Structure 1
Amino acid sequence: MQPEETHLEFPCTFPVKAMGLAGTDFDLLVVEIVGRHAGPLREGAVSSRPSSNGKYVSVTVVVQAQSKQQLDAIYSELTAHERVLMAL
């Protein structure tokens, strides 16, 4: 079986974004999941933005991606978590 093609060249800087209901620790949840696969994050790697009504929040974590498999594992764990509504 051929590996899936990707237009990315690794290693590369890659923003992982997850959205969920706003809560006091949603950003920590996303950072914990991403950190399991990407290792320690750089200073300033995490940003969050609430929706206009404040019900949802998007958290972006910029990682130094090493492979497509690593990114697939991050997205797989994020989307499997009940609090994550969407991951981009």
Structure 2
Amino acid sequence: MAEPKAPKIEFPCHDYPIKVLGDAGDELQQLVIEVMERHAPGFDQTCLKIRDSRNGRYQSFTVCITATGEDQLRAINDDLRASPLTKMVI
């Protein structure tokens, strides 16, 4: 039986969601904004959604960008994961 193939994304892909989970605080929010500005300049910061965990120790940030290609998405993922503040990138 053949393995199912991942769905193809057509680029540019508008409103591509990226979710970042990490330690709560302003530092993680600044990191997310800096990385998005570096790789998706001019992204809409008003679409940034922040949710606190039940105990307030962690936060999730969801941001939508215009994805221009796999290289861009890989670079965003790598830059976000390089920080010890980041626990997961989806």
TM norm. shorter chain > 0.5: yes
Q: Equivalent pairs: percent with the same residue?
A: 37
TM-score scaled to structure 2, two decimals?
0.84
SS in 1 for 2:66: strand
Q: Does 1:9 align with 2:10?
A: yes
Rg comparison, structure with higher value: 2
TM-score scaled to structure 1, two decimals?
0.86
Whether contact under 8 Å (2:17, 2:63) holds in the other structure is yes
Q: Unmatched 5+ residue regions in structure 1? A: none
How do 1:63-82 and structure 2 match up within 5 A?
63-82=65-84
Which of 39, 51, 56 pairs up with 2:58? 56
SS in 1 for 2:46: coil
CA distance change for structure 1 residues 43 and 18 in 2, over 3 Å: closer, same or farther?
closer
Q: Unmatched 5+ residue regions in structure 2? A: 1-5
- In the TM superposition, residue 43 of structure 1 has moved relative to its aligned partner by 4.8
The number of aligned residues is: 84
Whether contact under 8 Å (1:45, 1:63) holds in the other structure is no
